[in-house]
Chains A and B, each alone.
Chain A
């Protein structure tokens, strides 16, 4: 099926009243999640996963996808008006967006942010539509060695790009692989680490782990933060950027859209890195880099475009290879599994109505978001007045009842609480939860492809290097792991050499 044919099919699916309603609900919830600091899209999707059981699969994925890209729109509002990022990908928008608001140009910053999000979001969907089907066809040639190599590179890249320390990221990935090995072994049927608990036979459920790490962990970690946050009192008029604003923002917008999409397709890339990369690029190419910081519209347009196209770009590996590239798409991966769908290249041929319906809904969702974010911005700002001390217990309530309702089991509540406490320490000790959650999802794929490869090659490990794609991917993973180790060893050696040289005292 060609892209245009697929889009036509998708539009017939996405424009049905039920799917339109769920798309609207998703983008409204996404904007709300983006606006509210302390609740990210990954946590919101995790909270809503149990509620999607009763929904048709297409409507469920349309809604969850809407939450993810909708959050990118909402995040900028809090950054611009409060200097607090509504969600992590809007951190950079605080720099120039807040300064613009302080100078009385909050309307222009919010308006440009909404337009940049819309243009880049639409660009991202176009990219997904054009790249997705050929990549999925290409991925059909992949065998177990390629899938093993892809999961290795995915986890390495997430650890490399995600947090402050690669060692910590990789440790979390290894821990995730171990957690993912709990349950019945899919090949031999052997019970692993279940200790007689029937609930654990099917493995540790993804939903309570995700809710614990991202929902409960976030609430616990926010316990010491100030409850009251100042909202800048400013006029919200003049939301339409001026001709001069457009002239200055055009380049950053185009570069941000492209860069964001490319980074978004990488495992571990995601919207956060895309927005930082866009800001750095714009400052580098600008003839007036000194204007970045005191309130340059380029510093709002570029990163806001980048985080939106990255959010859409993240669907490329999910839909074509069946590999989530960040925590939020990992939740959508889990939602696909919950509805009995196998994410991967066959989705385009086996469930074209679902895939194209979701892609088409993204075009519609972006239009809805633009309409919602311009005239209703004041309404979303009012949401910021809901005090966090009231919101936090409600997040906990959703986590507790959501975790219980997965299997109607108290074991899942214990898993939620255990991973919530782990999530607290992960945040406090500067670890990163994303590699853990991705390893939990990718672990079974990695194990199956590893064992199938070895069985097919009769125990010959060179099978991973005999095929060009898996060999190239594994070499990339090795380079990614060895680079920081090499850099660290060289720095240590240089310090020791420098320490050994004593200044000559006359």
Chain B
């Protein structure tokens, strides 16, 4: 866990530096009239200090047992594939339309969960159609129609 904590600290430090830099381009104002960059600047500063403290604390921490050094990674391949499916969904949503994209992402998730084909097709189809009816027809949410018009 030490290595992962140091890595998390480093990522948070990067976020703090980037956000701090962006905040410094906003008007900071004066103490009597703080500007829009005031809060983000000090919040980024605090995050940076906390990230440094996290790295320092993990570095100085007494060496851990082999068990404690590992974060609870399990099924990371499946989780990464799921993330990929979600990103592909967002990329395809406007072009493919709600029904096709949603049916596709549901089918992909069910396949990743090792479900049988009839279950995959049945659950994906029924869920996509039912949610379309609920949101687009009943609640009148203008869901993306896609190039095919549905």
Contacts and interface: CB of A to CB of B under 8 A. Distances in A.
B44 A223 contact: no
Contacts of B137: none
A408 B94 CA distance: 12
Given A167-B53, A224-B74, A447-B39, A393 B94 contact: no
Interface string B33-48: 1111111100110110
Given A224-B76, A431-B8, A393 B123 contact: yes
A390 B102 contact: no
Given A167-B54, A397-B102, A392 B113 contact: yes
A171 B36 CA distance: 22
A11 B137 CA distance: 35
Interface string B68-82: 000111111011001
Contact of A428 (B40, B73, B105): B73
Contacts of A431: 8
A393 B109 CA distance: 6
A274 B73 CA distance: 29
B14 interface: no
B140 to A, nearest CB: 9
A175 B22 contact: no
A187 interface: yes
A224 B36 contact: no
Contacts of B76: 223-224
Chain A contact-residue range equals: 35 or more
Given A168-B54, A193-B22, A397-B102, A389 B82 contact: no
A177, A219, A223, A224 pick with most chain B CB within 10 angstroms = A223
Given A397-B127, A400-B89, A404-B143, A389 B78 contact: no
Nearest to B124: A393
A458 B32 contact: yes
B15 interface: yes
B139 interface: yes
Contacts of A390: 110, 113, 115, 119, 123
Contacts of B144: 410
A451 B8 contact: no
B102 A417 contact: no
B8 A421 contact: no
Nearest to A219: B82
A223 B1 CA distance: 21
Interface string A38-71: 0000000000000101100000000000000000
A492 B59 CA distance: 12
A364 interface: no
Interface string A375-400: 00000000000000110111011101
Contact of B86 (A167, A420, A443): A420
Contacts of A450: 34, 39
A22 interface: no
Given A175-B12, A401-B143, A450-B39, A190 B32 contact: no
A318 B36 CA distance: 27
A53 B141 CA distance: 11
Interface in B94-150: 94, 98, 102, 105-106, 109-110, 112-115, 119, 123-124, 127-128, 131, 135, 139, 141-144
A138 interface: no
Contacts of A174: 16, 43-44, 46-47, 50
Interface of B: 1, 4-5, 8, 12, 15-16, 19, 22, 26-27, 30-40, 43-44, 46-47, 50-51, 53-54, 57, 60, 62, 71-76, 78-79, 82-83, 86-87, 89-90, 93-94, 98, 102, 105-106, 109-110, 112-115, 119, 123-124, 127-128, 131, 135, 139, 141-144
Given A171-B51, A455-B33, A495-B62, 6 more contacts: A177-B40, A190-B36, A192-B36, A400-B89, A428-B72, A455-B34
17 contacts: A174-B43, A175-B47, A181-B39, A220-B79, A224-B74, A389-B114, A390-B115, A393-B110, A396-B105, A396-B109, A397-B127, A397-B131, A400-B102, A404-B93, A410-B144, A429-B5, A451-B38
Task: Identify the 9 closest CB pairs spanning chains A and B, nearest first.
Answer: A224-B75, A224-B74, A459-B31, A389-B113, A459-B32, A185-B36, A174-B47, A393-B109, A223-B75
